[in-house]
Amino acid sequence: MPVLRNEIGDVLRDARLTQGRTLRDISSGARVSLGYLSEVERGQKEASSELLASICEALDVPMSAILREVSDRFETAEALDDVSVMPTIPDTVPELLGEVRAR
C-alpha cells in the first residue's frame, strides 16, 4: 500500500515538472523554504492542509486536482493488491487429485 505523503509529493513534483518550473519558483510563490518543499516532494515531510493549499496555489493547480490524482493512485494500488491476494490454483492440482483417487 502506498504512503500518503509519498504520493502527494510525487503528484506535486509531477505537476511542477510538467510546468517546467523549479523548486525555487514554487517555494517562493508558496512562501515555504526550498528545502522543506523538496522534503515534501520526496515524501520525507507531511504537508499540512494549509501548506498543501499554498503549494497548489503557487502551482496554479486546484487542490482537488492534486488530491484526485493521489486518490486515483491509491485506487490503482488497491486494485493491484486485490488481484495479488486472490489465491490461484495451479493447473496440475486436478491431475494430482485424480492420481490420489486412482490409488
C-alpha cell belonging to residue 98: 485424480
Q: What is the DSSP letter of 44?
A: S
Give me the domain span that covers residue 71: 4-102
For 24-48, how does the pLDDT look when each residue is reduced to its tens digit (9 = 90+)?
Answer: 999 999 999 999 999 999 999 999 9
pTM of the model: 0.77
Q: Count the domains in the chain.
A: 1
CB neighbour list of residue 103: distance below 8 Å, 6 or more residues apart:
none
Q: What is the CATH number of the domain that holds 71?
A: 1.10.260.40
Please, where are the H alpha helices in 32-103?
34-41, 49-59, 63-85, 92-102
Summarize pLDDT for 9-27 with one digit per residue, the tens.
Answer: 999 999 999 999 999 999 9
**Residue 29, CA distances (Å) to 84, 87, 98 in order:** 43, 50, 70
pLDDT in tens, 62-89: 999 999 999 999 999 888 877 655 556 5
